[in-house]
A and B are shown apart, each in its own frame.
Chain A
Amino acid sequence: GQSLEQPSEVTAVEGAIVQINCTYQTSGFYGLSWYQQHDGGAPTFLSYNGLDGLEETGRFSSFLSRSDSYGYLLLQELQMKDSASYFCALTMDSNYQLIWGAGTKLIIKP
């Protein structure tokens, strides 16, 4: 079967850099996505890695290594508004559906 593992909670300081890891076990996938969800709100798409390597979008970067079955989301210059849950998700090559991690709650302290 397929599964993704993320830390349940990460704490960081405003202005700092934080990395949220995602490890997975799966037979085949197209790519790894990252989503942000504020409490009670809708998940919003942040980034997608179809190939190995780093993708940068402003303060956020995402990385994928298929050989290590591992990816991460890097958030720089943390702001209080970045306090949210972050989910990694794989797009499966069997049916294009997304398999989701359980999410990482990011707590930012002033």
Chain B
Amino acid sequence: DGGITQSPKYLFRKEGQNVTLSCEQNLNHDAMYWYRQDPGQGLRLIYYSQIVNDFQKGDIAEGYSVSREKKESFPLTVTSAQKNPTAFYLCASRELDRVNTGELFFGEGSRLTVL
């Protein structure tokens, strides 16, 4: 079955450590996205990529980094510069020729807790 796989599902980090969240999709989608979700808030865009080896900052990119070396993979690194990294992180993808349909496909999320 096609879909998006995020790992790990739960992650604990000490302050000052970088962590990398994995996102892999086998939907053959060109565009991939990372969102952050905090309780009682909507999703906020961290980074997105529409093509391999290219990515753009979203609304809250500070303290995060990404790479897009392969079409199916879009890992997110939460660096020690991120002041409040405890959150639920969601990876999503979609076909570029369907960007005006409002439909994104999401992974199951990764919950990061900083101790």
Please give the residue numbers on chain A whose beta carbons come within 8 Å of chain B beta carbons, in ascending order: 4, 8, 30-33, 40-45, 48, 50, 87, 89, 91, 96-103
Contact = CB atoms under 8 A, between A and B. Distances in A.
Given A91-B99, A97-B48, A42 B42 contact: no
Interface of B: 40-45, 48, 58, 90, 99-109, 111
Contacts of B45: 97-98
A interface majority secondary structure: strand
A50 B100 contact: yes
A96 B108 contact: no
Q: Most chain-A Cβ atoms within 10 A of its Cβ — which of B45, B101, B105, B111?
A: B101
Contacts of A98: 43, 45, 102, 104
Contacts of B90: 42-43
Contact of A42 (B41, B44, B103, B107): B107
